Amino acid sequence: MAAVLPSASSSIVGVLEKELGAAAIVGPGHERLDDYGRDESPLPEFFPPECAVLVESTEQAAAVLRICAERKVPVTPRGAGSGMCGGALPIAGGVVLSTERMQRIKEIDPADLVAVVEPGVVTGVLQAAVEEQGLFYPPDPASLEFCSIGGNAATNAGGPRAFKYGVTREYVLGLEVALMGGEILRCGRRTAKGVTGYDLVAGFVGTEGTFGVITELVLKLLPRPPAAATVLGVFADVAAAGSAITMLLRGGLRPRVLELADKHSIDHIRAKSRYRFPENAGAIVLIEVDGEPESMTMMMEQIGMRCDELGALDVLAATEPAERAAVWQARRLISPALKEGYRIKVNEDICVPRGKIVEMLARIDRVSAETGIATAVFGHAGDGNLHCNFLSNEDPEDPAVRKKMWAAAEQVFIHTVALGGTLSGEHGVGLTKRDYMHLEMSEQVLEWQRRWKLMWDPQNLLNPGKKIPAARRCSE
């Protein structure tokens, strides 16, 4: 892949300001510029861009990409900056193209069951808007109160409800994308089905802003499930909870959520959580069902009985909206609370085949014991998607400490791949997993991905250095 040139970018801020107006530019000396050099990834480094451009329309996004291509200036697209893998970090400098101001919900159509939105719409805001009309947008990343739909599509975000409803890709029917060079491409459809031509939409979703900048999305909606209820199975330890999940998966029950949280995760949020977890909880299995109101009690009873049979110490039901909201506040608190509580939080989102969940949990325990690094494990276990967090209060700036933390993560990656799993089930590759991809993918597969990237961005200027590793030199 071609190296990114430092380039003739010295005048880029002035050119962009002239084209888009000063109000669109966060330039040198601006108090907010540093914010665009960080995201939610566990990296101590800070990557300041030359400027950030806060576009308000597709045309403005295309103009930025035209100007930067002409001047060979790298561009890093950015949604809400909630990504956990460094995907939005401008590691090559240049320009950050932020879609945070593109927040219009253009259409919610109950007849077609679609919404047409700009990329900066906050996911939770869209969910509330469609729910008011009796509709449902299922993907629910834990950051839904501040992450945006464009970023969700760029990373193909998941969330707890992916267990029943699938991930973001399944809800993106059509896209408008601004390409490097300034071309605007509209692809996809607004129909429930469609197989005409190659599926460019599926190709763009999950590319982490390396192919183009999403400027509009046509999203599939569902009718809103009339009722939902939440059940917590309390187990003695994470191994017992993991086996219960495996057995629940085999049993044919189809809840919309099947999540796990280990003791460390639960204990860490007790003080801040509105929900009171039982003192004896060594691990929790969080199960949520949805459907007709009259079926709720029966489904909860079935789940409760199964959990009892599978060795639960206790089974707790949350049916009232306030109680369910408290459970979810607690669940969504795990990640930010761990981040606040530890100086280093290296969080992974590995995904293993469902039959290997118990074995993977045991291997994570082993890595923690061997390295002496504390872990907290939680997440979307029903999908085999485990958030394995390595935690430390040592100095995050100390290279030896960082090396140790990432070596532990690498061990987990190796075990994951050995069990037939993948390095990332939902957060993406960005920068943090890029150099581990060879553990999972052959050089041939990586090379086809590099070719694909260069087809959309021949100068390698759009989010360079992300998503796939550069080609290895012969001597390596």
Question: Least distance to ligand 2HG from the beta carbon of 56, Å?
Answer: 29
- Of 122 and 299, which CB lies nearer to ligand 2HG in the complex structure? 122
The yes or no reply on residue 335 touching ligand 2HG (CB under 6 A) is yes
Residue 308 Cβ, how far from ligand 2HG at the closest point, in Å? 27
One-letter-per-residue 3-state SS of the chain: CCCCCCCCCCCHHHHHHHHHCHHHEECCCCCCHHHHHCCCCCCCCCCCCCEEEECCCHHHHHHHHHHHHHCCCCEEEECCCCCCCCCCCCCCCCEEEECCCCCCEEEEECCCCEEEECCCCEHHHHHHHHHHCCEECCCCCCCCCCCEHHHHHHHCCCCCCHHHHCCHHHHEEEEEEECCCCCEEEEECCCCCCCCCCCHHHHHCCCCCCCCEEEEEEEECEECCCEEEEEEEEECCHHHHHHHHHHHHHCCCCCCEEEEEEHHHHHHHCCCCCCCCCCCCCEEEEEEEEECHHHHHHHHHHHHHHHHHCCCCEEEEECCHHHHHHHHHHHHHHHHHHHHHCCEEEEEEEECCHHHHHHHHHHHHHHHHHHCCEEEEEEEHHHCEEEEEEEECCCCCCHHHHHHHHHHHHHHHHHHHHCCCECECCCCCCCCCHHHHHHCCCHHHHHHHHHHHHHHCCCCCECCCCCCCCCCCCCC
Contact between residue 51 and residue 90 where contact means Cβ atoms under 8 Å apart: no
List the one residue out of 341, 471, 347 whose CA is nearest residue 3: 471
Instruction: Return the number of the residue (264 or 387) whose C-beta is nearest ligand 2HG.
Output: 387
Nearer to ligand 2HG, 69 or 377 (CB): 377
Q: Does 379 bind ligand 2HG (CB under 6 A)?
A: yes
Name which of 387 and 467 has its Cβ closer to ligand 2HG: 387
Residue 94 or 159 having the CB closest to ligand 2HG: 159
Cα distance between residue 332 and residue 287, in whole Å? 15
Nearer to ligand 2HG, 335 or 368 (CB): 335
Q: Minimum distance between the CB of residue 167 and ligand 2HG, rounded to whole angstroms?
A: 12
Taking CB under 6 A as the rule, does residue 42 contact ligand 2HG? no
Shortest distance (Å) from residue 142 CB to ligand 2HG: 3
Q: State residue 168 phi and psi, 5-degree precision.
A: -55, -40
Tell me how far, at minimum, the Cβ of 238 lies from ligand 2HG, in Å: 15
Q: How many residues sit in the footprint of ligand 2HG (CB under 6 A)?
A: 7
* Distance from the Cα of residue 259 to its chain's centroid: 16
CB of 428 to ligand 2HG, least distance (A): 11
Site string for ligand 2HG, 129-168 (x = CB under 6 A): -------------x--------------------------
Between 216 and 348, whose beta carbon lies closer to ligand 2HG?
348
Asked if 411 touches ligand 2HG (CB under 6 A), the answer is no
Among residues 71 and 161, whose Cβ is nearest to ligand 2HG?
A: 161
- Of 114 and 431, which CB lies nearer to ligand 2HG in the complex structure? 431
Minimum gap (Å) between residue 316 Cβ and ligand 2HG: 21
Contacts of 333 (CB under 8 A, 6+ apart): 269, 272, 273
**Shortest distance, position 162 Cβ to ligand 2HG, whole Å:** 10
Among 161, 268, 387, 467, binds ligand 2HG (CB under 6 A): 387
Q: Which is nearer to ligand 2HG, 334 or 367 (CB)?
A: 334
Among 58, 60, 148, 347, binds ligand 2HG (CB under 6 A): 347
Between residues 335 and 416, which has the closer beta carbon with respect to ligand 2HG? 335
Candidate list 76, 156, 207, 389; residue touching ligand 2HG; CB under 6 A = 389
CB of 302 to ligand 2HG, least distance (A): 26
Instruction: Compute the least distance from the CB of residue 393 to ligand 2HG, in Å.
Output: 17
Closest distance to ligand 2HG from the beta carbon of 265 (Å): 9
Q: Which of residues 275-334 bind ligand 2HG (CB under 6 A)?
A: 334
Judged by beta carbon, residue 304 or residue 428, the one nearer ligand 2HG is 428
Q: How far is the CB of 388 from ligand 2HG (least distance, A)?
A: 8
Q: For residue 71, give the nearest of 129, 5, 136 by alpha carbon.
A: 5
Binding status of residue 416 toward ligand 2HG by CB under 6 A: no
How far is the C-alpha of 163 from the C-alpha of 426, rounded, in Å?
A: 12
CA distance 153 to 171: 9
Q: Residues interacting with ligand 2HG, by CB under 6 A?
A: 142, 334-335, 347, 379, 387, 389
